Amino acid sequence: DHVLSSRYCRGLDTARIAFESEPQPFAPLDLLQTDPAQKAAQMAAIMKEIRGYSGSDNLVLVTHLEDIEALTGVAPREGEAVVVAPDGDGLKVLGRVTF
């Protein structure tokens, strides 16, 4: 798996424990910005990364509740993964997995 994470310790630690590999810190996965222009840029950077991924394994993004809600409209519980696929301008939720 190709694992990207928020630069916050809790994101990096979660990624290390869950995927037993060293995640790549990815600034757009940090806590969602409150300024509308910065928030839009942050979401665009995440979507660009998702759409541009062409690896044969899974792209895993470890981020925060606010980011996941903004990207998917889903509010996951603690320890829950949201599985998505690109769909038009957004993401289609394929499923949810609780660990």
State yes or no: pLDDT of 5 exceeds 90: yes
Q: How far apart are CA 91 and CA 65, in angstroms?
A: 16
pLDDT (tens digit, 9 = 90+) per residue, 26-35?
Answer: 999 999 999 9
pLDDT attached to residue 13 = 96
Element (H, E) at 65: helix 65-72
Report pTM: 0.92
- Confidence class of residue 99 from pLDDT cuts 50, 70 and 90? confident
Q: Are 4 and 49 in contact (CB under 8 A)?
A: yes
Mean pLDDT within 15-25 = 94
State yes or no: pLDDT of 11 exceeds 90: yes
Where in the sequence is the domain holding 26, given as residue range(s)? 2-98
Mean pLDDT within 66-92 = 95
Q: How far apart are CA 57 and CA 69, in angstroms?
A: 24
Q: How far apart are CA 24 and CA 16, in angstroms?
A: 10
- Tokens, residue 93: 């939720």
Number of domains in the chain: 1
